[in-house]
Amino acid sequence: MKIFSSKKKFIYLISPNKIYPNFYKDLRKIFVLNKVNFFQLRLKKLTLDRKIIIAKKTKKICNKFKIKFLINDDPYLAKKMDADGCHLGQKDMNIIKARKILGKKIIGITCHNSVKLSKKAIKDGADYIALGAFYPTKTKNIKFKAKVSDLIRIKKLSRIPIIAIGGINKDNYKNLLLNNANFLAISSYVFNNKKLKPIDAIKMFK
């Protein structure tokens, strides 16, 4: 599946760690603004049954607004849900095995700040690579930090889309777009923002 980037729809939205009561309503409000290209369901600590329930509801909303729906970590669940694809970390299933499960669906992989990992992902047929963390984030523990210089260097390897991740907010996002990140992965600034509601937070990205 080909991925087309757009100057307007550059947000790769990632779910909060906990699905709160108004989550689905907030998601609809966000999608109406036409800024989001991907939505990744990232639920680390839930049972498979609970993930399936949430995935069904979320996928329905994504389909309505023509947002690409991805599952984090689990190609089998992505296939079961007929998601648009799956995102893999370096410790998850390798791309080649995931490709056998998912066929032509989107498969992206985290490559941290590494030219070596990026080259391997490109060689193995990843549809996009994710680099980061570019800034401090509360979403997950940071083991790898990326700089804009890493983005520039890895961007020269291939035309494969690059998704920048880690602590992206209204004050720092433009620098990543100016240095040719195709999409920006955003989660905590939207869903865990103590000052702004999710709909108001997403409006900050223009």
Each residue of 5-21: pLDDT tens digit? Answer: 666 789 999 999 899 99
At residue 143, the pLDDT reads 77
pLDDT band at residue 3 under the 50/70/90 scheme: low
Can you give the C-alpha Rg of the chain in angstroms?
A: 16
Check if CATH label 3.40.50.261 holds for domain 11-202: no
> Average per-residue pLDDT in the chain?
94
At residue 136, the pLDDT reads 82
At residue 32, the pLDDT reads 97
Mean pLDDT over residues 116-141, rounded?
90
Whether 85 and 67 have beta carbons less than 8 Å apart is answered as no
- The rounded percent of the chain whose pLDDT value lies above 90 is 89
The ranges assigned to domains in the chain are: 11-202
Model pTM?
A: 0.94
- CA-to-CA distance for 83 and 69, rounded, in angstroms? 6
At residue 7, the pLDDT reads 64
100 pLDDT higher than 90: yes
Q: What is the pLDDT of residues 39-94, one digit of tens each?
A: 999 998 899 999 999 999 999 999 999 999 999 999 999 999 999 999 999 999 99
pLDDT band at residue 137 under the 50/70/90 scheme: confident
List, in order, residues 6 or more apart from 165 with CB less than 8 Å away: 110, 130, 131, 132, 133, 134, 185
pLDDT band at residue 144 under the 50/70/90 scheme: confident
175 pLDDT higher than 90: yes
Give the dihedral of Cα atoms 4, 5, 7, 11; nearest 10 deg: 130
161 pLDDT higher than 60: yes
Mean pLDDT over residues 105-119, rounded?
97
